[in-house]
């Protein structure tokens, strides 16, 4: 799209250049062929065409300047260059024409083609230069204007054109007043428009000095040119013979330049005293814009702090600057970016000022001399006693997290503008600190979420996706993971057609580590269940393996049951896990074989404390294996679900099948803890012995 626009712009410009070149060639040819024709009609027609050509050319140059957004300084230099070229042409015309021909008018009337071409070409060059000059003046007139001044400018251009064109009647004394009238009005508008220089307020002090020097150069050059283009000089006669309109127009433009450069000279001079204040405000605005960009683009707080201190020195004209942040671990402020001052000096001054502010209850903006600080640590910075320090707190949500400092040596104090600038930069820095903190939290949260996703995936792959279909047993299992992912684990092992092993375990801790330990526990129990029958033996071997792999802060609570359906009994062993509930004839019994958690002890103490229980099953006996996520579920009042509520549901559901019992338990827990966050995994395994009724599930 941009390429297409550029191509169209180029073609349009090329078309304009061709049109102007053709028109210029026609003008020269027209002048050469009809040179001897001195009728007033011919002169009027020719000069009207010439005026049209001049304004077309001016429009073309003005568009160029506007599209390039040329700086005023460059344009003033261009005016000087064009003025120098015109002065050179004036000197060259004297050598070419005056020394060769005694009377240029006679030579031109005799129709010397060479001289005609040369003089016409000369006039066209002067016309082009004049058109470029008026386009520069037009561009400078509208530059930085806040009001619509087109009416003033167009009126001025119209009267310049009328004054120039009325010069065609220079021989008619009776109507010369018309030329004088148009010229006078044109000069009034030129003077009025010349004082409307808005762009001078937006340049630097150094540029104003340069503009003053260049204005003097313009005055000198066009003072000479105005003289050289009069009729008593060769080039003046050449231009006048080519076109009286052009001769008058050039004269007016030169005077316009003299007036404009005079006004520019004095305007620049009068603006010098206010330049420093303007430049400072401009620097402040630019710095704040840069800081705003950094806040959104730079995530490195160190880089931002570096920019803040550098900018503070620049805007406040201070000798040093530093940014200090409160270190919560060390309970004191620490400099994170220093400029032109030692770290230790910055820290001592900062903490001394902060201490005085805390004791006086103030945390606002201000400044003081270092020698006024009474803290003992100030003896280490005695060489900075004359340093005047301005400070501004970095506040977020009313809390002071740090300070921005600027220091000036000697007797120079900070003024109100300095304090305001430091205040603004401190506010931006405070926002940056908050952004940095939020960014770190966001990265940490994202990292934790990825870990949790990984832990959930591991947990999902480890747990059985369906319950086994075993003769005489009605089995149901439910697992609800917590957001943080715990270490709950349960599994079923079909030892043979009459024996079923069931394990439930809970790895201490949460997250990825718990999930990986859970995977290890699964592998251990899966292997041991194939080679050992006794639940106690399985837990003993599991403890031996896990003790070597678990870290000192991790253990695994577990319970293992072996159902022997041929003998209608179940053997149980428990390693520090929740008790196993036996429901028989609507009575709740807690089966608590002794045992400590796996991985807690590898000595004989573990085996001595581990026991195995054997229960002969009766029809409709229900064994409930669960993790503490059920009994420790909390409501909005932080009350635990507890064993009492759990027993009540089980007792009321004795006649239900395993799935219905699970559903009722989970429904009650969900209702109980609906207004509170689930902080741990919930695992529930219901096994109902149905005797000969359950040949198949």
Interaxial angle between packed helices 658-672 and 642-652, expressed in degrees from 0 to 180 and rounded to the nearest 10: 140
Nearest to 127 by CA among 218, 50, 20: 50
Higher pLDDT, 163 or 44: 163
Report residue 678's pLDDT band, with 50, 70 and 90 as the boundaries.
confident
The C-alpha atoms of residue 446 and residue 432 are separated, in whole angstroms, by: 21
**For tokens 């004036």, what's the residue?**
90
pLDDT tens sequence across 545-585: 888 888 878 899 999 999 999 899 999 999 999 999 999 98
Distance CA 281, CA 259 (A): 31
Residue appearing with tokens 């075993």: 470
Span of 137-141, 252-256, 485-489 with lowest mean pLDDT: 485-489
User: What are the C-alpha distances in Å from 54 to residues 129, 425, 459, 535, 629?
Assistant: 10, 53, 86, 110, 93
Q: How long, in residues, is the chain?
A: 697
State the pLDDT at residue 697: 39
Query: How far is residue 445 CA from its own chain's centroid?
Result: 22
Strands (E), 216-260: none
pLDDT at 303 over 90: no
pLDDT higher at 535 or 304? 535
What does the pLDDT read at residue 103? 55
pLDDT of residue 204: 81
Q: How far apart are CA 109 and CA 97, in angstroms?
A: 14
Burial class (CB within 10 angstroms; exposed 0-12, middle 13-18, buried 19+) of 541: middle
For 580, the enclosing helix (H) or strand (E) is strand 580-584
The vertex-664 CA angle with 659 and 665, nearest 5°, equals 100
Q: What is the 3-state secondary structure (H, E, C) of 469-509?
A: CCCCEEEEEEEECCCCCCCEEEEEEEEECCEEEEEEEEECC
Whole-angstrom distance, CA of residue 353 vs CA of residue 389: 10
Residue range 368-406, pLDDT digits in tens: 887 777 766 666 666 676 788 888 888 877 788 888 888
User: Scanning the structure block, which residue is given the tokens 């409160």?
Assistant: 326
Q: 């000697």: which residue's tokens?
A: 410
Among 586, 564, 575, smallest CA distance to 536 is for 575
For the beta carbon of residue 415, count every other beta carbon within 10 angstroms: 12
Dihedral through CA 215, CA 219, CA 220, CA 224, nearest 10? 150
The per-residue pLDDT for 95 is 66
Decide: 59 and 117 in contact? Cβ < 8 Å.
no
Average of per-residue pLDDT values in the chain: 83
Q: Using pLDDT thresholds of 50, 70 and 90, give the confidence band for residue 236.
A: confident
Which of 92-106, 325-339, 576-590 ranks highest by mean pLDDT? Answer: 576-590
pTM: 0.52
Written as six digits, the tokens of 425 are 């930069």
SS3 58: helix
How does DSSP classify residue 376? G
Confidence of residue 132 (pLDDT cuts 50, 70, 90): very high
Predicted confidence (pLDDT) per residue in 415-424, tens digit? 777 777 788 8
The pLDDT, as a whole number, for residue 298 is 57
Which of 175-184, 286-295, 644-653 shows the lowest mean pLDDT across its residues? Answer: 286-295
pLDDT tens track for 167-225: 888 777 788 888 899 999 999 999 999 988 888 878 888 888 899 999 999 999 999 98
Q: What is the DSSP letter of 412?
A: P
Note the pLDDT of residue 37.
Answer: 56
Report the pLDDT value the prediction gives residue 416, as an integer from 0 to 100: 75
Find tokens 């053997």 and name the residue.
571
The set of residues, in sequence order, having a beta carbon less than 8 Å from that of 40 and lying 6+ positions away, is 168
Task: State the pLDDT at residue 428.
Answer: 78
Residue 372: predicted pLDDT? 78
């Amino acid at each position: 799209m941009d390429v297409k626009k550029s191509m169209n712009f180029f073609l349009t410009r090329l078309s304009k250049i061709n049109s102007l070149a053709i028109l210029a060639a026609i003008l020269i040819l027209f002048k050469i062929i009809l040179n001897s024709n001195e009728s007033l009609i011919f002169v009027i027609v020719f000069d009207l065409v010439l005026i049209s050509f001049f304004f077309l050319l001016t429009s073309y140059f003005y568009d160029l300047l506007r599209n390039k957004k040329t700086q005023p300084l460059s344009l003033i230099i261009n005016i000087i260059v064009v003025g120098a070229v015109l002065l050179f042409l004036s000197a060259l015309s004297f050598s070419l024409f005056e020394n060769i021909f005694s009377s240029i008018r006679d030579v031109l009337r005799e129709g010397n083609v060479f001289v005609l071409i040369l003089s016409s070409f000369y006039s066209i060059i002067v016309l082009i230069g004049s058109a470029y000059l008026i386009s520069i003046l037009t561009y400078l007139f509208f530059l930085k204007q806040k009001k619509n001044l087109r009416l003033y400018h167009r009126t001025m251009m119209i009267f310049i054109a009328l004054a120039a064109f009325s010069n065609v009647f220079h021989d008619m004394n009776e109507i010369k007043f018309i030329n004088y009238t148009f010229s006078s009005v044109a000069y009034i508008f030129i003077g009025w428009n010349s004082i409307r220089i808005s762009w001078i307020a937006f340049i630097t002090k150094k540029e104003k000095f340069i503009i003053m020097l260049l204005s003097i150069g313009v005055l000198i050059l066009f003072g000479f040119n105005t003289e050289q283009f009069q009729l008593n000089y060769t080039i003046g006669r050449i231009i006048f013979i080519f076109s009286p309109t052009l001769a008058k127009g050039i004269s007016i433009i030169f005077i316009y330049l003299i007036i404009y450069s005079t006004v520019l000279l004095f305007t620049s001079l009068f603006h010098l005293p206010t330049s420093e204040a303007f430049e400072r405000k401009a620097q402040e605005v630019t710095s704040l814009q840069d800081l705003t960009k950094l806040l959104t683009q730079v995530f490195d707080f160190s880089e931002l702090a570096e920019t803040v201190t550098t900018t503070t020195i620049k805007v406040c004209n201070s000798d040093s600057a530093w940014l200090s942040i409160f270190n919560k671990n060390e309970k004191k402020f620490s400099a994170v970016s220093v400029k032109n001052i030692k770290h230790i000096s910055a820290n001592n001054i900062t903490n001394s000022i902060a201490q005085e502010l805390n004791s006086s209850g103030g945390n606002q903006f201000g400044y003081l001399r270092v020698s006024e600080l009474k803290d003992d640590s100030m003896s280490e910075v005695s060489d900075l006693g004359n340093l005047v320090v301005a400070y501004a707190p970095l506040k977020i949500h009313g809390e002071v997290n740090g300070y921005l400092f600027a220091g000036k040596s000697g007797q120079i104090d900070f003024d109100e503008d300095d304090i305001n600038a430091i205040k603004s930069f401190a506010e931006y820095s405070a926002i940056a600190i908050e952004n940095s903190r939020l960014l770190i939290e966001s990265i940490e949260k994202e990292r934790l979420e990825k870990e949790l996703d990984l832990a959930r995936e591991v947990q999902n792959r480890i747990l059985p996706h369906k319950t086994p279909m075993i003769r005489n047993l009605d089995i149901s299992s439910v697992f609800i993971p917590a957001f943080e992912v715990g270490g709950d684990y349960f599994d079923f092992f079909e030892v043979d057609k009459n024996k079923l092993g069931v394990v439930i375990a809970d790895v201490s801790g949460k997250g990825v580590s718990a999930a990986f330990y859970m995977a290890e526990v699964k592998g251990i129990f899966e292997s041991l269940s194939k080679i050992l029958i006794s639940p106690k033996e399985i837990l003993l071997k599991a403890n031996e393996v896990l003790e070597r792999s678990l870290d000192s802060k991790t253990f695994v609570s577990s319970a293992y049951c072996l159902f022997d359906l041929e003998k209608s009994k179940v053997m149980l062993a428990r390693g520090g896990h929740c008790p196993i509930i036996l429901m028989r004839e609507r009575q709740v019994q807690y089966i608590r074989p002794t045992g400590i958690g796996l991985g807690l002890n590898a000595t004989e103490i573990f085996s001595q404390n581990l026991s195995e229980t054997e229960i002969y099953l009766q029809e409709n006996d229900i064994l409930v294996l669960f993790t503490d996520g059920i009994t420790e579920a909390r409501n909005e009042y932080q009350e635990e679900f507890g064993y009492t509520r759990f027993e009540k549901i089980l007792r009321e559901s004795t006649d239900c099948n395993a799935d219905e019992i699970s559903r009722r338990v989970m429904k009650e827990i969900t209702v109980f803890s609906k207004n509170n966050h689930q902080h741990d995994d919930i695992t529930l395994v219901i096994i109902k012995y149905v005797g000969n009724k359950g040949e198949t599930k």
